[in-house]
Amino acid sequence: MKQALFCLLMLISYQTLFAQKIEFYTPRTVRIVKENGTVFNKKSLVVTAEPEKVKVNVTFNDTATIYRSSELTVIVGKNGISFLDNKGNLIMREGSYSFSPIVRGLDKWSYKIKQGFMVDADEGIYGFGILQNGKMSHRGENRRMEQGNTEDYSNFFQSIKGYGVYWDNYSVTYLNSPVEGVAGELTLESQVGDAINYFFMYGGDADGVIAEMRHLSGKVPMAPLWTYGFHQSRERYSSQAELLEVVDKYRELKIPFDGIVQDWQYWGHSYLWNAMEFLASGYPNPQEMMDRIHNQNAHLSISFWSSFGIGTKGFREFQEKNHLLDFETFPPSGLDGWPPRDDYPSGSRCYDAYSEEARDIYWRNLSRLHRLNIDGWWMDSTEPDFYNYDDSDLDVPTAMGSLRSVRNIYPLMSVEGVYNHQREIDTTKRVFIFTRSYFAGQQRTGANTWSGDITSTWDSFRKQIPGCLNFTLTANPNVHSDIGGFLAGCYNINGWNSAKDNPQFKELYVRWMQCGAFMPMMRSHGTDAQREIYLYGKPGEPVYEAMVDAVKLRYRFLPYIYSQAWQVSQYNDSFMRALFMDFKDDKSTWNNNKQFMFGHNILVCPVLHPLYTEEEIVKSPEIYDLKVNWEEDRTYEVYLPKGVQWYDYWTNEKYSGGTTVNASAPISHSPLYVKAGSILTLGPAVQYANENNFDNIEIVVYPGADADFTLYEDEGNNYNYEKGMYSTINLHWNDRSKSLTIGKRNGSFPGMLKSRTFIVKIAGSDAVKEIRYTGKATTVR
């Protein structure tokens, strides 16, 4: 028993046969299964890893059984399970647990299951998903976790103490967490479960926990390079002429962009909902539209849903195979307009994504769009949407049991179905998906989740920062929000689309755009007002220029962003990083919900309050006459984490960490800082991501400590990188000798630049050196 891979401890509890299984997946990750009278052997839909051959030493004493790996000790005693590090320090211990039998319905013979986890008084708890509560630490939360439009859940949390817990259950789950400052029991209670089944992982810090979770449930594939450019969208383009006009206008005005997004109803009326075909009269030749978009070096992403109208081919195929879920969904009426006409019900139904055959049918219908060479998929309503929701809707059958038992994993089943099908038939372009919902493990599809149909208010904007950061802390790095917020009607004082002339909305939109430049996906979208930048002013005007500059800043950082994408994919890194991930010793960062690191070098400080207008929305037409001097400077308070020094990106002025400063925050830009001991790779001005193959890159060193950075490149939009077709160039700054070494290029790929120009700069210095680089190591002093 000294080298047990799968250790079983049998206990007698409440006169029922009760079994606990302790199974090490890695030296740092252990699975705990508690059975109550029946053997639990269901294969996880999330965990794809197999247990490694972990050396586990098992010993017994009068009160406990002790399992020791090289990194983790698990003590199973009469009062529950405790987890200790390899030095014997207590990490976490279980609280109470319960099994409550379900005596009727499809889930008869299953249980409601509950497990507690003890947390310290000052212990920060993070993750769970996208929550619109505005908080970093989820202490004091008491909520029903069920996938929705603006909140999504993954049953995964991690602690400031460096451990994480994945609760492997797919039903609606209740979270109850003790308030900050009070030690107590955090509980997870799921409506349906055959066993208590969770994974405990000790990473030492947030990055280590994320690495363990991705080992369990899948690494992150590379997204296409173009997807890190700017995406323009609105609800909605109603014809191909309207959409192409936007593409033409952006290119004419030389506003950089890479993606245009076609939202819903290109299929026509609601009885044809989600037909996955261009059936509306405004799209006479979709292939011609695609060709024109591609000829202008742009890309199209297109919306589709989980529900199908009764007139669609998909509906008929699903109905014939009994793969439709029997609850009301969107759209409620077959007629256009709102409120919906109940006397003309749409009959739309969601497909059963839990069925492999249904996922095959879904892809066959989507193939009609894939054959048009569309570049990206906007998978909307992947929660999926309910209409006239009632708890009894969860009792409908699916291919995997009751919907109640698998409710929260619907988005993973649907998104992964599209990802896997496209990868099977098309290796020439990477799958690109953005979607409204997710579950644990979805990072293995590379899908980017956005925070749903949020309102266009400052309060909503503020909530997106901790929402996206906590999402990242569930091991999925790809997240963003609609820039400007989705529902902007509160600013339409003079009718539809008048928000674009409202100075209050303009200020919010500018600040959201500046923040969106540092999210994994930069996408402007919303309803009630059109969102194209050129509708918000003219060249030379402050608001217009501020928006354009935010987009140009995004493109300037593309070499840095794409290299970070490689770190995410290869080394389990993250894009948006909660401050405590890099500055854990600074307790002021533990609950900072206003700022974040982008990669390990850039401190992003979004302006989350209006500085030129009032936050309270003025409901009078007089607001349009408000004279705002957009050219006046303003200041905004930001915190600089301690332990390092910081450079103001805009001025190169240097500041000590551990201080709060009043940063300059004119409408033209938000505060941005770079950590001393950083190397930034910044690209030249381009109109689209692939324009110059990363030639003429500026290497900007921020001295004060040694620094390293790896510049990564590949073909940008296929899977050859998985075969080793990519290159890396290691950059190292020696702060003592004041020298930069540009290392030997490692690897190659088709189309790679054989020689290029690097422009080396030192922050705070006017000195510039131009280096002609041919792949050989060189040192610049």
Could you give the residue numbers annotated as active site?
380, 383, 453
Give the residue among 660, 457, 710 at the shortest CA–CA distance from 560.
710
Cβ neighbours of residue 313 closer than 8 Å, sequence gap 6 or more: 275, 365
Whether 190 and 180 have beta carbons less than 8 Å apart is answered as no
Q: How far apart, in Å, are the Cα atoms of 185 and each of 92, 115, 116, 128, 166?
A: 11, 9, 6, 16, 16
- Cα separation, 28 vs 46, in Å, equals 18
Q: How is residue 220 annotated by DSSP?
A: P
- Tokens standing for residue 102: 């379900």
Beta bridge partner(s), residue 119: 184
Q: What is the dihedral of CA 439, 444, 446, 447, to 10 degrees?
A: -20
- Tokens standing for residue 389: 């929701």
Helix H or strand E segment including 116: strand 111-119
Cβ neighbours of residue 587 closer than 8 Å, sequence gap 6 or more: none
Q: How is residue 203 annotated by DSSP?
A: -
- Cα separation, 525 vs 529, in Å, equals 9
Residue identified by tokens 């992403």 is 301
Cβ neighbours of residue 258 closer than 8 Å, sequence gap 6 or more: 226, 227, 229, 230, 231, 297, 298, 299, 688, 689
SS (H, E, C) 630-668: CCCCCEEEEEECCCCEEEECCCCCEEECCEEEEEECCCC
Q: How far apart, in Å, are the Cα atoms of 83 and each of 24, 25, 49, 71, 91?
A: 13, 15, 22, 11, 6
- Tokens standing for residue 288: 């011609």
- Cα separation, 131 vs 138, in Å, equals 9
Please count the residues of the chain.
781
- Tokens standing for residue 687: 């109109």
Whether 713 and 745 have beta carbons less than 8 Å apart is answered as no
- Judged by DSSP in three states, 383 sits in coil
Cβ neighbours of residue 391 closer than 8 Å, sequence gap 6 or more: none
Look at strands 697-702 and 678-682 and give their pairing: antiparallel
Cβ neighbours of residue 759 closer than 8 Å, sequence gap 6 or more: 696, 697, 698, 699, 768, 769, 770, 771
For the purposes of burial, counting CB atoms within 10 Å of the CB of 189, is it exposed (0-12), middle (13-18) or buried (19 or more)? buried
Helix H or strand E segment including 424: helix 410-425
- Tokens standing for residue 650: 């805009």
